[in-house]
Amino acid sequence: MLDELHKASAWIIKKWLDVIIRGARWADPQTDLTEFGAFEANLAEVIVIDHGADFVISRWGAEIGMLCGGHQRGRCLSELLQPSRSQLRRICVRAMAARGPTAESAIWAVHGGIWDCVMLALPVGGTEDGVRLLIALLFAPHPLFDDPLRSAHATRAVATPAVGGGRP
User: Taking 70 as the threshold, does the pLDDT of residue 4 lie above it?
Assistant: yes
Segments making up each domain of the chain, as ranges: 2-166
Percent of the chain with pLDDT over 70: 76
Burial of 131: CB neighbours in 10 Å, binned 0-12, 13-18, 19+: buried
Q: d(Cα 110, Cα 151) in Å, to the nearest integer?
A: 17
The pLDDT value recorded for residue 157 is 38
- Of residues 54 and 147, the one with the higher pLDDT is 54
Contact 101, 13 (CB under 8 A): yes
Question: pTM of the full predicted structure?
Answer: 0.75
The pLDDT value recorded for residue 163 is 39
Q: d(Cα 91, Cα 103) in Å, to the nearest integer?
A: 7
pLDDT digits (tens, 9 = 90+) for 88-118: 899 999 998 888 899 999 888 877 788 888 9
Q: Is 167 helix (H, G, I), strand (E, B) or coil?
A: coil
Which CATH number is associated with domain 2-166?
Answer: 3.30.450.20
Looking at every residue in the chain, the average pLDDT score rounds to 77
Report DSSP state, residue 54.
E
The pLDDT value recorded for residue 2 is 64
pLDDT digits (tens, 9 = 90+) for 27-80: 555 566 777 888 888 899 999 888 888 999 988 888 888 878 888 888 898 888
